[in-house]
Structure 1
């Protein structure tokens, strides 16, 4: 019993240390879109800290650099754009950080108890989206799920309760026939 606490502490520390790594990897591959809120920081320069929402045109206004088109870019790509823009003309070696504050929402409608838009989190599934929407109605079909991807030319794709969703997706749960 006297070894339980140190072992538990080590396991807790390791699991907490690995948690940000998985979330960070998902965030690094994420592509920005209209409605996402990001934060940009330059170490040692409080005046260059900006928390902003990406506009419908896919842009933000950043001090010294003006309008930046960020739609479709990753967090790392935005860091590089800000770094390149500030380096030389304004700073010798700027230390730039860009992070996600709030993802754009996903939408769910059809046979759910509370249809609407909900905040997206990386790794979400249709099942988790349904839970946020209060669950399925009595007439909902778990076989007739359509997912419309934001910006996709395809009208919608067939989904299952375990399908992964993305920010900006629209999920439709159809009625089942008795």
Structure 2
């Protein structure tokens, strides 16, 4: 019972700590999107265009489906795929080329972001569609969705459309994404049309000479040693060198394996710790 209570407390503390990390990431994404100038304008975005010293040329407008925007005295101009800075420079150059204004100073502000959207589905606290207002990482999007639900896995699935039209599926370990100091892997940035899916947490079972046998949640990658710790560890009678794993094959048959401490535990595995003969 003591080991079980300790395990529950550890998992609650782990979730609480993860929540703080997610909250920090959420604060970061708001600060980042408020000042980021690399957002690419797209169809549906609403804009405010103003020209210094020319209040009559101020316009509130929306990017059309073909990427055009109506600019006072210039008509429709193509700005989809450009940053706010690049679009403002384009408009200023056209004012000068058409002899409308000299030394035009144009400011362009995206007032409503609508063109770039990712879907966040599965076992998150607040699933939905996130409108990208700037560079947004996978962990920041997860923070926006309220983090992983209690029955969710830390094995994250990102589905993205490839240039040839095929859908690519990539899996990520949340702990590795959060632990950037120890893992040199680059940040995973989301793109328009991405789908982030959080599946159900898997399950594994402990039996034999372990303090707390039973079923346990496989909500993050575990090896055999870590799985045994979740059950309070082996008893004094256990033979730690004789751990068996019973794993179901795709055809329904069960495979018996001798487990090593660093072997990966898979969903549905049954770990049996045998009693020492001495």
- TM superposition score normalised by structure 2: 0.47
Aligned match for 1:91, one of 98, 101, 122:
101
Output the CA distance in 1 between the equivalents of 2:50 and 2:58: 4
Gaps of 5+ in 1: 1-19
Residues of 2 paired with 1:42 and 1:103: CA distance? 22
List gaps (5 residues or longer) in structure 2.
1-30, 178-187, 204-278
Identify the residue that residue 14 of structure 1 maps to in structure 2.
Answer: none
Q: Secondary structure at the match of 1:156?
A: strand
The answer on 1:53 being equivalent to 2:53 is no
Question: Structure 1's 115 and 144: CA in aligned 2 closer, same or farther, altered over 3 A?
Answer: same
Q: Is the 8 A contact 1:148 1:155 kept in 2?
A: yes
Question: Cα offset for 1:51?
Answer: 2.9
Aligned to 1:156, which of 168, 178, 184? 168
Secondary structure at the aligned position of 2:108 is classed as strand
Aligned to 1:128: 140
2: CA distance, partners of 1:159 / 1:98? 38
1:65 aligned to which of 66, 70, 74: 74
> What is the root-mean-square deviation of aligned Cα atoms in Å?
3.1
Aligned equivalents of 1:151, 1:41: Cα separation in 2: 36
Please tell me whether Structure 1 or Structure 2 has the larger radius of gyration of its CA atoms. Answer: 2
Task: Measure the CA separation in 1 of the matches of 2:69 and 2:112.
Answer: 15
Shift of 1:175: 2.9
Deviation at 1:165, TM superposition (A): 2.4
User: Which of 1 and 2 has higher RCO (CA within 8 Å, sep 6+)?
Assistant: 1
| Per-residue deviation, 1:43 | 0.5
Q: What's the counterpart of residue 5 of structure 1?
A: none
- Asked whether the 8 Å contact 2:39–2:133 carries over to 1, the reply is no
Q: How does 1:31-46 map to 2 (within 5 A)?
A: 31-46=40-55
- TM-score under structure 1 normalisation? 0.69
